[in-house]
Amino acid sequence: MGGNVKFSSHRAPPPGCSPRPQPSLAPGPPLPVGSPPQHEDTVAHKSTADRVKPSATARLFEALHAGQALAGQLARLTEPEHRRPLLAQALREAGEAGQEVLSLLASNGWRTPPEEVERRFAHLLASKNLSEYGVDAFGFAPSEIRKYVPAFEFLYRVWFRAEVHDIDRVPEGRCLLISNHSGQLPFDAAAIGASMLLDREPPRIVRSMVEKFATALPFFGTLCNRCGQVTGLPDNCRRLLDADECVLVFPEGARGINKTFRERYRMTPFGHGFLRLALETRTPIVPVAVVGAEEQTINLFDFKALAKLVQSPSVPITPLMPLLGPLALLPAPVKYRIYYGEPMLFDGDPNDDDAVVAVKVAQVKSAIQDLLERGLRERRGVLI
């Protein structure tokens, strides 16, 4: 953890978010909601587009370009007139965040009292259909997640100092949480899960739809599974919703979480599957925005060729990777802001044309976009 603090304070402020308060968002949202993209949001189209576009050289140039842009920003820092405000801002943020962390740790105020955790789990257990071996049909074991609560809570309250807004908008009964996805590693999902478990009254377990690649991994896949996360298949989602669970879906999927630093707060195309399932099961959709996670890890470029070789959806290259290797994917202690929106209930035929469904998907997306913009407006910096 110590090394992590060092590298994050070294890197999080400079690349210039703070001096540009609303990075690349305010002027014009890159995916205007008004014109529903006919096929832009479909995965199929995306993959064909991918096949046409990126040659290895194009990728290389893109990477070089990204590196150059970052170098330019760093170079600007060395010029005295830029250095002063930037450095001042960075130091102020780091100082304030550090103070917050220290006071949290000193007062031990970040930990939920054990009896309160007990109460929350008792409530959860009462509503779950568990086998005599303490697992449900999807592999969720509340006793297991109970063991990890301190670790999750440390991440959630100290490391990310998460701030949660309007969590009471999440209804009882079946619901679909639809969120932006970012940060290279799915800490945003963990934070949403922690907020629903620790800050909502009564608590709920979030069942997120996990990328197939991740559930196949040793340790991580098992951990996800025991903590209630489920392989992202429509059939699993349908059954969870039928059982009145709260399901978290990131319609951007891997392309969202692995986007590069330059694309932060620009949502990638949404899949349509979640909306069709919501229509089919009459499930309210709660848009969720996680602000902060988009800056936690700086992905300069996605090393597609290597990703293909190791059969991973992506291999993000971060500035500190030469130094730290895969550890450089760990998140900086950015501040998380989680915004829950008003539930949206859609009507219609789940088997409608893509064009019809796309309109509804765009509504959800723009709701998330609004929440994101609100979060970016409200924050004073990346760390505070």
Between CA 291 and CA 300, with CA 296 as vertex, the angle to 5 degrees is: 115
Name the residue nearer to other proteins (CB basis): 38 or 143: 143
Which span sits near other proteins by CB under 8 A: 51-59, 113-121, 125-133, 368-376?
A: 125-133
Which span sits near other proteins by CB under 8 A: 128-136, 153-161, 171-179, 359-367?
A: 128-136
Name the residue nearer to other proteins (CB basis): 81 or 132: 132
Total number of residues that touch other proteins (CB under 8 A): 25
Among 28, 47, 51, 133, binds other proteins (CB under 8 A): 133
Structure tokens, 352: 């409608």
Helices 142-153, 114-127: axis angle to 10 degrees equals: 140
Cβ-based neighbour number of residue 265 at 10 Å: 23
Among 33, 63, 77, 135, binds other proteins (CB under 8 A): 135
Among 179, 182, 231, 314, binds other proteins (CB under 8 A): 231
Task: Measure the CA–CA gap between 78 and 364, rounded to whole angstroms.
Answer: 43
From the number of C-beta atoms within 10 Å of its C-beta (0-12, 13-18, 19+), residue 115 rates as: exposed
CB of 229 to other proteins, least distance (A): 12
Among 236, 312, 363, 366, binds other proteins (CB under 8 A): 236
Name the residue nearer to other proteins (CB basis): 86 or 141: 141
Name the residue nearer to other proteins (CB basis): 225 or 258: 225
Phi, psi of 47 (to 5 degrees): -70, -35
Tell me, residue by residue from 88 to 107, as one string, x for binding to other proteins by CB under 8 A and - for no binding. --------------------
Which span sits near other proteins by CB under 8 A: 24-32, 136-144, 288-296, 349-357?
A: 136-144
For the chain, where are the alpha helices, taking DSSP H only? 2-11, 43-52, 56-78, 80-107, 114-127, 142-153, 187-198, 212-215, 220-226, 234-242, 253-257, 273-281, 304-309, 321-324, 354-378
Task: Measure the CA–CA gap between 287 and 178, rounded to whole angstroms.
Answer: 5
Among 58, 75, 137, 309, binds other proteins (CB under 8 A): 137
Residue type, 96: E
CB of 327 to other proteins, least distance (A): 19
Name the residue nearer to other proteins (CB basis): 144 or 370: 144
CB of 141 to other proteins, least distance (A): 7
Residue type, 95: G
Q: Which residue is associated with the tokens 């130091």?
A: 91
Which span sits near other proteins by CB under 8 A: 24-32, 73-81, 134-142, 186-194?
A: 134-142
Q: Is the peptide bond before 29 cis (omega within 30 degrees of 0)?
A: no
Contacts of 39 (CB under 8 A, 6+ apart): 45, 354
Name the residue nearer to other proteins (CB basis): 226 or 259: 226
HEC profile of 117-150: HHHHHHHHHHHCCCCCCCCCCCCCCHHHHHHHHH
Contacts of 184 (CB under 8 A, 6+ apart): 257, 258, 296, 297, 299, 316, 318, 329
Q: Is 320 in the site for other proteins (CB under 8 A)?
A: no
Among 57, 78, 108, 131, binds other proteins (CB under 8 A): 131
Q: Which residue is associated with the tokens 């489920």?
A: 230
User: Residue 245, SS3?
Assistant: coil
Among 29, 36, 139, 333, binds other proteins (CB under 8 A): 139
Tell me, residue by residue from 239 to 278, as one string, x for binding to other proteins by CB under 8 A and - for no binding. x---------------------------------------
Tell me, residue by residue from 187 to 226, as one string, x for binding to other proteins by CB under 8 A and - for no binding. -------------------------x--xxxxxxxx--xx
Name the residue nearer to other proteins (CB basis): 127 or 222: 222
Contact positions toward other proteins, by CB under 8 A?
Answer: 131-133, 135, 137-139, 141, 212, 215-222, 225-226, 230-231, 233, 235-236, 239
